[in-house]
Structure 1
Amino acid sequence: MKYYIYQGLGTNGELTKIAEVTDKKTYTVTGLKAKTTYRFAVSSYNGLRESAKSNIVTVTTSEIPVQSITITIDKTALEVGGKAKVSVTVTPTD
Structure 2
Amino acid sequence: MTVTLIWLVSFAAIFMLCLNRWDGSLGATVKRILPEALSIDNGDRYVWGGALAVLGATFIVNPISMLMALIMLTLIVVIGGKLICWGMSKVKMH
TM-score by length of 2: 0.24
Which structure carries more helix by proportion? 2
TM-score by length of 1: 0.24
Which structure carries more strand by proportion? 1
Identify which of structures 1 and 2 has the higher relative contact order when contacts are C-alpha pairs closer than 8 Å and 6+ apart. Answer: 2
